[in-house]
């Protein structure tokens, strides 16, 4: 019998995870299929418990449900520390994992970028931001976390410091401009710029500087307005596909105990975005 996997979120129409994971299943001859399911915040628990009852192989969790999924899953230590789940495994109990941080790290490593001793400015304080913040702090970065709601940015920075993971401060978006000038790496972990709002960006080229690394976790569209602004400023622009692929590869291994065909997954996503 074909094993069912999927991703839950709201919105979910933009997700290319089905294309990526189904390409991996075909490559490795796994009898599985991966679908996208739109689930509202109030129905997260019901959706997860239903997937478990229906013997799904596993689920990914995307915005805005990553933190809510913790109410249902028994989180592993990393996900518990982050306070958000992006992967659920149903082999025994419902176990929650978070592969976003390692996905972001490997995405930058692919471009020969090491965050150690770098000043990293993270836009957002949601599930993806939390994972990236803890991972990058652990890897030796100094963090500035900027969010529309100041208390969320300050709270996440406090948590990073409390975990002994490194130095971090939280600011509001109105305080961004002078800190962008001092940053080595800028990470957009918000949904700003995602389809269908492709004309949106939190930072423009006049605020950037040449050599700044601009990493947008949004992957649809492939080139967001933020990345176009980065290129205009002479900054280094990195799209979200590599993070999607590497975090997905970690989920794939959790579910199947097999190493994911990363190149196949990346080619499938990029083809879907370009073809």
Task: Please check whether residue 62 is in contact with residue 39, taking contact to mean a CB–CB distance below 8 angstroms.
Answer: no
Exposed, middle or buried: residue 210 (CB in 10 Å: 0-12, 13-18, 19+)? exposed
Is the peptide bond preceding residue 174 cis, with omega within 30 degrees of 0?
A: no
Q: Is 91 a catalytic residue?
A: no
Catalytic residue, candidates 3, 52, 66, 253? 66
Give 3-state DSSP helix, strand, coil % of the chain, rounded to 5: 45, 20, 35
Could you give the count of Cα atoms lying within 13 Å of 238 in the half-sphere of its Cβ?
25
Strand pairing class (32-38; 213-216): unpaired
Closest among 232, 226, 233, 230 to 199, alpha carbons compared:
226
Could you give the count of Cα atoms lying within 13 Å of 119 in the half-sphere of its Cβ?
10
Task: Please check whether residue 200 is in contact with residue 217, taking contact to mean a CB–CB distance below 8 angstroms.
Answer: no
Closest among 116, 118, 65, 104 to 88, alpha carbons compared:
65
- Supply the angle between the helices 241-256 and 17-28 in degrees, to the nearest 10: 50
List, by residue number, the catalytic residues: 66
């Amino acid at each position: 019998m074909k094993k069912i996997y999927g991703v839950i979120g709201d919105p979910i129409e933009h997700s290319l995870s089905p294309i990526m994971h189904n390409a991996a299943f075909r490559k490795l001859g796994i009898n599985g299929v991966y679908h996208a399911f739109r689930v509202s915040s109030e129905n997260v628990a019901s959706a997860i418990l239903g997937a478990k009852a229906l013997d799904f192989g596993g689920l990914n969790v995307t915005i805005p449900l990553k933190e809510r999924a913790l109410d249902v899953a028994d989180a592993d230590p990393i996900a518990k520390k982050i306070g958000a789940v992006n992967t659920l495994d149903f082999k025994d109990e419902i176990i929650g994992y978070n592969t976003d941080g390692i996905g972001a790290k490997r995405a930058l490593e692919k471009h020969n970028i090491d965050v150690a001793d770098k000043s990293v400015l993270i836009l957002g304080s949601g599930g993806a931001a939390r994972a990236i913040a803890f991972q990058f702090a652990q890897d030796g970065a100094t963090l500035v976390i900027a969010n529309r709601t100041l208390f969320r940015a300050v709270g996440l920075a406090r948590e990073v410091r409390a975990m002994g993971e490194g130095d971090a401060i939280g600011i509001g978006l109105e305080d961004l401009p002078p800190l962008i000038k001092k940053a080595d790496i800028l990470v957009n972990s918000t949904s700003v710029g995602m389809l269908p709002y492709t004309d949106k960006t939190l930072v423009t080229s006049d605020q950037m500087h040449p050599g700044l690394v601009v990493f947008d976790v949004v992957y649809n569209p492939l080139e967001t307005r933020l990345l176009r602004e980065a290129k205009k400023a002479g900054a280094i622009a990195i799209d979200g596909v590599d993070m999607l692929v590497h975090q997905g590869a970690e989920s794939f291994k959790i579910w199947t105990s097999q190493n994911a065909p990363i190149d196949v997954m990346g080619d499938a996503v990029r083809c879907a975005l370009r073809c």
